[in-house]
Structure 1
Amino acid sequence: MRKIIRFYRKHPKKLILLTVFTIGYYFCLPKQLFKSPTATVIESSEGILLGAKIASDGQWRFPVLDSVPEKFKACVLQFEDAYFYKHPGFNPVSMAKAFSDNVSAGKTVRGGSTITQQVIRLSRNGKRRSYWEKCIELLLATRLELRHSKEDILKLYASHAPYGGNVVGLDVAAWRYFGLQPHQLSWAESATLAVLPNAPSLIYPGKNQKRLLDKRNGLLKKLLDEKCIDTTTYELALLEELPQKPYPLPKIAPHVVQYISKKNKGQKIRTTINHNLQDNINAIVQKHHVNLRQNQVHNAAVLVLDVDTRKVLSYVGNTKTTKEHQKDVDMVQANRSTGSTIKPLLYTAMLDAGELLPNMLVPDVPTQIAGYTPENFNEDYSGAVRAKSALARSLNIPAVRLLQQYGLEKFRDQLDVFQLGGLSKTADHYGLTLILGGAESNLWDLCKTYANLASTVNHFNETSSEYYENEFIEPILKANSVPDFGNTSIQKTVFDAASIYLTFEAMKEVNRPEGNESWEFYDSSKEIAWKTGTSFGNKDAWAIGVTKKHVVGIWVGNADGEGRPNVTGVSSAAPILFDVFDVLPKSKWFSRPLDEFIQIDVCSESGYLATDICPAKTIAIPNKRNYVTSCSYHQLVYLDTKEQYRVNSSCIDLSQAIVKSWFALPPLMEFYYKKSHPTYKSLPNFRKDCKSIRKSPMQFIYPKNGSRITLARNFEGQTNEVILKLAHAKPETIVFWYVDETFIAQTRNFHEIGVVPTLGQHKITAVDALGSEVTITITIE
């Protein structure tokens, strides 16, 4: 310290200059050496390139390499800088030889720059080549050597070296010229790329092939001489051809690139996507697209999630269609009409609230609610159907009636928990159409919702009957992300595990079809809970499948919203769903969450709580307060000794009558129910000598009481008829029809007539041969 003080006193100016120089030298190198924009690079979970988005300056320049492959490192060191690991950033011997050769030739014929100096030159892009510039590069190179390790400098060089055209860096060059990742390059390919930054113009296909070949082979000979490779490797390398044309960069998941680049522009992101699975599903989508486009259906999307980790395993945003058909639109994220895909949420909600039992009969009859008339997809009616079958068969009328029973406002508020994108309006805006596709959402959020439900069941069984507080989280697309489910709790997150399990059990029943549908694509060995959906006008076809391990979501349609005939969830989306499940590992079915169940007796025919007069069976239901009523469809009836007619005290001593419990539906439900249930028996008529005290056996199907009807005109200018339709417990009974007390017609077996009333209010009356009567009032506008 004293020596420094004495030196300062003797040479103050020198010390100041030295200090200024030292500070200047320390700060002469920019903190960020390269400021050029980089491409957005997306890799699979295995580190394989899925796709990339070009840098904003139009250059294919990837972010800095994580490491430099050994083969390329050996090649570039032998070609560019054999003493790289020994010099401090510059090589005086090489510089002297280069200076001598250039002076002798009268022009620049040789460069003496080290790799470190070349990194500096590349970072100072656009500077004129001069001896003064060389001096600056030399100074900065020594500073770079002090700040970075040799390996980091090599990575900077390999990442920013020019490879002809708009190709910058080894990563891109390996893909563009050989269609490989850098670590997959052979010795010959590595040698080719090692010599190119020295003269990148040599790479143009079909040009300068001999010069490039000579350079490459010269480097291979040097590698042999330096014992980097053996003779066999050298001779085989000489036989390899030069690249003849550039390869396109992979486009295995273009919409993932598009999606991630919105928030991660210019970064290299390793995703959760499985490369082989993505490849397989791309092929599946392409195969089905060939068939779909025959019906002018051009777009489809697939999303596959891992239930346990919430990782996105595959993401196909669209088909490889044309720009005209909007191939670039990401249909995984696009909001579309949900069709029937949220029906399972209503079913789960009602089970969870104790307002529904799986085998409860729900009405499936012509329905009009506040002017809204829902229709089943097949335009048919079952009369009455078990709740779980209504879900499995995706019947619209039972779903609408259940939503009205549960409460539109309540259900709409519950949907907010799932954060379904596109579902942003109030309950009044959607009305009861909410359950049939009146709202919009997207494949990402729907799959997320089903994955969260599946995980709720899994976690409940894995944690000794507890729930996670943060069960409902977003899917994970970045490989280094970990789901945070929060702490465990005995309180359910949204729905209890038993209700969800029963919903999946009902959805699994879809795999055992009722009717004449063609399900040849279903592999019965796989247990899958799945739901299809079709939006109004056949614009959107959905299929979502759930197993213990995976959720698969499919959307099919046209991105521009054009509907096409026969585009349905069953015919268009479901075949893709099962093809995708075929390439996924087989998954076990969900374990039953036993601690969330209790035993209860229900009527075996109606599914309601059992009474003393109906045959009962014991089932397991969610353990909560039950608001389901007792069975009202069974009644005690008195029959004559032959059990042919009903009797009452007006015609027989009831002690002599036979008493039976009888399952009887209301007339309208019965009218449709017995069509598909041949064993169903209507209540017997009363014996003729008995006075009947009973409900009317008739009920109007259409129109409903109080309806306001506008009569349109046909192509011939004539006013269309109003079709009056009636259900009768005994169809063979004659029915007499009246409009405003005026007799119109009589019917038997098929109680349906057409009338053309005048404008205004009218009373429609039907009277059967036994004297039963029903009346409605309608208004013609």
Structure 2
Amino acid sequence: MSTISAQAALLPTFSEVQKAHRRSDVLILDRHGELIHELRVDKTGRRLEWTKLKDVSPALVKAVLQSEDRRFYEHGGVDWKAVGAALIDRFFGSKTRGASTISMQVAVMVQRGGRPLGHKTFRQKWDQMAAARELEKSWKKDEILEAYLNLVSFRSELQGIAAASRGLFGKEPSGLDLKESCTLAALIRSPNALPAVVGQRAALLAQSLSPGEPGEAYRRTAIDALSRPYRLRPYLALAPQVAKILTAGAGQGELSAQTINSTLDLRLQRFALQSLRQQLDLLQGRHVGNGAVLVVDNATGNILAYVGNSGDSQVDGIVAKRQAGSTLKPFLYGLALEKRLLTTASVLDDTPLHISTERGIYMPHDYDHRPRGPVTVRTALSASLNIPAVRTQLLVGTEPFADRLRRVGFDLRRSAEFYGFSLALGTADVSLKELVNAYRCIARGGIVSPLHLTPGHSGRTLRAMDPKVAYLVSDILSDPGSRSVTFGLDNPLTTRYWTAVKTGTSKDMRDNWCIGFSRRYTVGVWVGNLSGDPMWNVSGVSGAAPVWLEVMNYLHGNVRSAPPPRPRGVVAARVPAGHGEAERGELFLAGTEPPSVPAARPAGEAWHIARIAYPPDGTIIVIDPDIPEPNQRVFFETENEAPGLKWRLNGELLPPGEEGRRWAPRVGRYELALVDNGGKVQDAVSFEVRGQNQ
């Protein structure tokens, strides 16, 4: 085989070179194919996307051709005039001028992986000329020039015109002016020359392009650009922890894929991050510095938003282990219900408790240090009372409770004995990811399956809870009336659509959680300090809950969330008044309802609390003076209405029936409540009526 034939065999096509080009970073795409994060994985060089010649500034093309190959469009791969001039210079001992054409340099680049040879023997030079001539036969001139601009090194690790333009001048190659173009062209022959030397070369290049051109501006442009570290910022970097997970083990060209599809949603990810940062800004005076948000799709387990932390830290708050606080209580009460040791209406004693242990006397207390005496299981769980939770753990046993937690996905690395009776109050270290998936298990009727960051997974499923118990726990966590014992009716846990939610605060206020789900999504939020320092007077409602509410409202802007249907085996019955509660309806596992009271509803019919549909909470109503007063009415509307409900406005009951619903507005602030026959509040909203000029 001749030398020329051998060279031709080594040359790839332009298309092959273009396809083989690899960025030094990987693009993480969201579920819709939109860019959500860029992450560098190759440390050998800084390369960006392949740039087409039509997207390069004409000024740069002009400067590069003037500096490197003035007769590029005239020769066939070898500039014989330049070769002759170089030979004459060598013969007379003058400073040797370069004779390598752009085609010759590209021929070496594409054969040897992107870098031209250093000092070459005559034989090597001749082979390079032969390869360049063969290249010109199969490649177009513009293709050769385009490849050159994408493969050549400009400065330090900056390879290709896209990286050089963005890194040194913060702009795309199409926007380069002549001064910037001369700087980049001057770098090609000596990429790591001193800024002053490059500046001088840039000035001389400008003068060769336009005789008489003053060179000071060109020198200054080069010196300014090269005297500071280059800055190559990613277009988008919204999911650093996800990018790290999806590219784990990649580097030095190991990752062949230039893009990775994820399950994330770009807009939701951005909204969750912004909501978290805004809440942390509001908490600045309370020594709260960090947070994390995780959003998953209940049906698929796909992770839709993964905000590992609120700042630049590399710590991943989604998987970091923290004390769980009260977030484990639903699984404790669920186990007690499943074992039929308790019902939702069982009464627990919320008074001081003293338990003898090997370590001394254990004395749990409620968050507000106000024991409430006898309370029902529904109130104890929804109001997050601590003493009843410990009493419940005494009933079910610590070991069975720990086993239940492991079954729903918590990685408890210590024995049940290590945690003791404080396990009910969340002394175990858990992650936000574990919490969210465990609550998703409740939302799915007791089914556990893995969470996913990449599409197309199904995963192994496991029955971890009785579906009837999961329904009862969901119903309790969605009950704003029972929750009001601790949190009041006006709190960030109450939504205008069906959700079930729980907060938790660890010992010394080091960790603050809010985990909850709707029919379609589960959202978990943690706030605290990555350092482990305690916060100052921050509870679940004031810390994590506002972010949870913002994200949930975003998710359900156009998506309804109705209560889940009641499964067979769950019955409704009336519970007589007692222990500070009026006669009410309650849900039971079939066979555990009060024997003297028949089930009130047929199996399969949903049981849930009525809600106010209009006016929405926070509504502002303006009286119109042009409308006759008798014609101005506000119609109070309900959702899921049950018999016997009444309206109460600013503490006063309104007339029953249609008369009470049609209310004549008067200027002022109002609290509207929907109450049952026993006076128990089912739902409440606040609204304001203003005059025309207010």
- The interval holding the TM-score normalised by the smaller chain is 0.5 to 0.7
Would you say 1:395 and 2:385 are equivalent positions? yes
Report 1:233-248 matches (<5 A). Answer: 247-248=231-232
Measured after TM superposition, the shift of residue 557 of structure 1 is 1.5
Measured after TM superposition, the shift of residue 566 of structure 1 is 0.8
Q: Select which of 329, 348, 352 maps to 1:366.
A: 352
CA distance in 2, matches of 1:593, 1:97: 87
CA distance in 1, matches of 2:324, 2:376: 23
C-alpha distance 379-150 of structure 1, shift in aligned 2 (>3 A): farther
Partner of 2:214: none
Measured after TM superposition, the shift of residue 336 of structure 1 is 0.8
Report 1:238-277 matches (<5 A). Answer: 247-250=231-234, 251-265=237-251, 267=255, 268=258, 269-277=260-268
Contact 1:68 1:154 in 2 (8 A): no
User: Aligned partner of 1:199: which letter?
Assistant: L
CA distance in 2, matches of 1:390, 1:203: 73
Report 1:427-466 matches (<5 A). Answer: 427-454=416-443, 456-457=444-445
Would you say 1:162 and 2:153 are equivalent positions? yes
The TM-score, its normalising length taken from structure 2, stands at: 0.64
C-alpha distance 603-548 of structure 1, shift in aligned 2 (>3 A): closer
Describe the SS at the equivalent of 2:479. Answer: helix
Q: Select which of 519, 530, 555 maps to 1:584.
A: 555
Q: Select which of 93, 96, 118 maps to 1:107.
A: 96
C-alpha distance 209-594 of structure 1, shift in aligned 2 (>3 A): farther
Measured after TM superposition, the shift of residue 596 of structure 1 is 3.6
Measured after TM superposition, the shift of residue 412 of structure 1 is 1.3
Report 1:91-130 matches (<5 A). Answer: 92-96=76-80, 98-100=82-84, 102-103=86-87, 107-109=96-98, 111-114=100-103, 116-117=106-107, 119-120=109-110, 123=113, 125=115, 127-130=117-120
Report 1:49-448 matches (<5 A). Answer: 50-53=37-40, 55-57=42-44, 59-61=45-47, 65=49, 68=51, 71-72=54-55, 92-96=76-80, 98-100=82-84, 102-103=86-87, 107-109=96-98, 111-114=100-103, 116-117=106-107, 119-120=109-110, 123=113, 125=115, 127-130=117-120, 131-135=122-126, 137=128, 160-169=151-160, 172-173=163-164, 175-176=166-167, 186=174, 196=184, 199-200=187-188, 247-250=231-234, 251-265=237-251, 267=255, 268=258, 269-320=260-311, 327-371=313-357, 372-421=362-411, 423-448=412-437
Moved more, 532-541 or 379-388: 379-388
C-alpha distance 504-155 of structure 1, shift in aligned 2 (>3 A): farther
Moved more, 110-119 or 494-503: 110-119
CA distance in 1, matches of 2:571, 2:364: 35
Describe the SS at the equivalent of 2:478. Answer: helix
Structure 1: tracts of 5 or more residues without a match? 1-17, 82-89, 220-240, 322-326, 458-466, 608-614, 633-781
Show CA shifts across 1:394-426 (max 9, x none): 1111222222222322221122233324x2111
C-alpha distance 186-112 of structure 1, shift in aligned 2 (>3 A): closer
C-alpha distance 582-124 of structure 1, shift in aligned 2 (>3 A): same
Moved more, 397-406 or 192-201: 192-201
User: Aligned partner of 1:383: which letter?
Assistant: G
CA distance in 1, matches of 2:458, 2:141: 39
Describe the SS at the equivalent of 2:263. Answer: coil
CA distance in 1, matches of 2:352, 2:379: 18
Partner of 1:475: 451
CA distance in 2, matches of 1:190, 1:385: 79
Describe the SS at the equivalent of 2:456. Answer: coil
CA distance in 1, matches of 2:208, 2:331: 69
Contact 1:195 1:216 in 2 (8 A): no
Partner of 1:537: 508
Show CA shifts across 1:559-589 (max 9, x none): 2222233132222221222233344343422
Describe the SS at the equivalent of 1:545. Answer: strand
State the aligned residue count: 546
Measured after TM superposition, the shift of residue 307 of structure 1 is 2.8
Q: Select which of 7, 22, 35 maps to 1:48.
A: 35
User: Aligned partner of 1:330: which letter?
Assistant: D
Contact 1:443 1:554 in 2 (8 A): yes
Measured after TM superposition, the shift of residue 496 of structure 1 is 3.8
Contact 1:318 1:330 in 2 (8 A): yes
User: Aligned partner of 1:339: which letter?
Assistant: G
Would you say 1:558 and 2:558 are equivalent positions? no
Would you say 1:547 and 2:518 are equivalent positions? yes
CA distance in 2, matches of 1:204, 1:274: 46
Partner of 1:504: 474
CA distance in 2, matches of 1:38, 1:21: 32
Measured after TM superposition, the shift of residue 534 of structure 1 is 0.7
CA distance in 2, matches of 1:546, 1:217: 69
CA distance in 2, matches of 1:540, 1:533: 8
Contact 2:519 2:561 in 1 (8 A): yes
Structure 2: tracts of 5 or more residues without a match? 66-73, 90-94, 210-220, 598-694
CA distance in 2, matches of 1:352, 1:149: 76
Measured after TM superposition, the shift of residue 599 of structure 1 is 2.8
CA distance in 2, matches of 1:217, 1:584: 60
Q: Which has the larger radius of gyration?
A: 1
CA distance in 1, matches of 2:24, 2:585: 63
Q: Percent identity?
A: 23
Measured after TM superposition, the shift of residue 377 of structure 1 is 0.9
Measured after TM superposition, the shift of residue 447 of structure 1 is 1.7
CA distance in 1, matches of 2:427, 2:306: 26
Show CA shifts across 1:54-112 (max 9, x none): 6445x4345xx5x655743897999989xxxxxxxx97344445534544666334542
Partner of 2:540: 569
CA distance in 2, matches of 1:307, 1:440: 24
Structural RMSD (CA): 5.1
Contact 1:54 1:60 in 2 (8 A): no
Would you say 1:593 and 2:565 are equivalent positions? yes
C-alpha distance 629-523 of structure 1, shift in aligned 2 (>3 A): closer
Show CA shifts across 1:290-330 (max 9, x none): 34332333222222223334333332222337xxxxx3322
Measured after TM superposition, the shift of residue 629 of structure 1 is 7.9
CA distance in 2, matches of 1:279, 1:214: 48
CA distance in 1, matches of 2:142, 2:387: 69
The TM-score, its normalising length taken from structure 1, stands at: 0.58
CA distance in 1, matches of 2:108, 2:5: 24
